[in-house]
Each structure stands twice: as structure tokens, then as C-alpha cells.
Chain A
């Protein structure tokens, strides 16, 4: 069974940092690209970042470029999102979503809540 489990969320002050992780199981992790997608409370889905299967390319939404870094460790079947210089507007549930060629979002994690507040 395909499983994606996010962790690392929590309460952080503005300007602080957090590192999210997404642990994968039930499939060959290294064959897939991955995405981070977030959803602020009561709002819609927002794309955050993507990484290819071999980490050869990474992409970011303009709102997080320069502050967030996506990475993966294919030996540990894990995806990461390093979030620095956090802002109040980064408060959201962060989901990891799997992607194969032409099939974005075939599996999603349950999400992890990040709250940026004083």
C-alpha cells in the first residue's frame, strides 16, 4: 500500500525555521517526482515546490523562492522541505504529493500543520 506520512510541523515565530519531512513506503520512491502543496486555514490549495526523481531539477512558487528548499534522500525514501524566514502567511497544512509522468497527485500524505505566529 502506498503511504506518504508528513512530519515536522508545529508552532514557530516569524523569522524562524522548520524542516518538514515526508516518509514514503509501499512503492519505489526513486521512480517518482514529488511536490509540496499547502493550504492555509479556510483557503484553497497552493503549489509550493517540486523535485524530480533524481533531484536534477527543483521548482518553487514565487512566494517561497529563496526561503524554502526542497530536497530528497532516495536511500531513506524521504522528501524534505526546509523552510527559513517563515512569515505569518506561511501558516498552512503542508501536503506532499507524488507524481509520475503525466500523473500529478496520484497519492497524497495526510498533511502537517505549520503555524507561524508570535
Chain B
């Protein structure tokens, strides 16, 4: 699975959009971009995933560049409860394929 690079930490004001970048320059054509987050002491929570088209669900939007070498997770209206570590993962969608979590980005939402 391709490696990813994320900023170590980011701050965001409550109510504003949080834009979390991820670089995955070695991504292969059959690899998906997944985003998870982990709030302190809880299990990782699935947010969204995509292959090459932009995706949106009730939690977030995922914007993938045309060359697929980078992506951005957008939380449209961040709240204090969105403070967490956010993980960008690139992987082949294959049953039994492990998730490889890097260091992630610590997002702090401040009032």
C-alpha cells in the first residue's frame, strides 16, 4: 500500500471548515483513499473513502486531485467534538487487507 504524508497538527476555529491535506504521490491506480479519525481513547472511526471522484457524506467531503497524488478531507463546520487524530490511508480495497495507520494529523478545534 502507498505511503501517505500528513501535517503533524492543525488548528481550526469552531464553526469554520477544517481542511486536512494528505499527500500520496505513489498511489497506484487500484488504491483507494480512506479517512479515519480517532478521538482520544476511542476506536478509530471511519469517515469517508474514494477512488478518484470527489465524495461527500453526512460527516465530510473528500476532494481528490485529478492526478490522485493528493487529497483533502473537509469537515464543513467543525465542532469541538471533531478534535481528534485524523488518518489518511491509501489501500487496495481487498478483503482481509490490513489498514496501515500512520501518525495522522492532530486536529484541534478551538472555541
Partners in one complex: no
Q: Which residues of A contact B (CB under 8 A)?
A: none
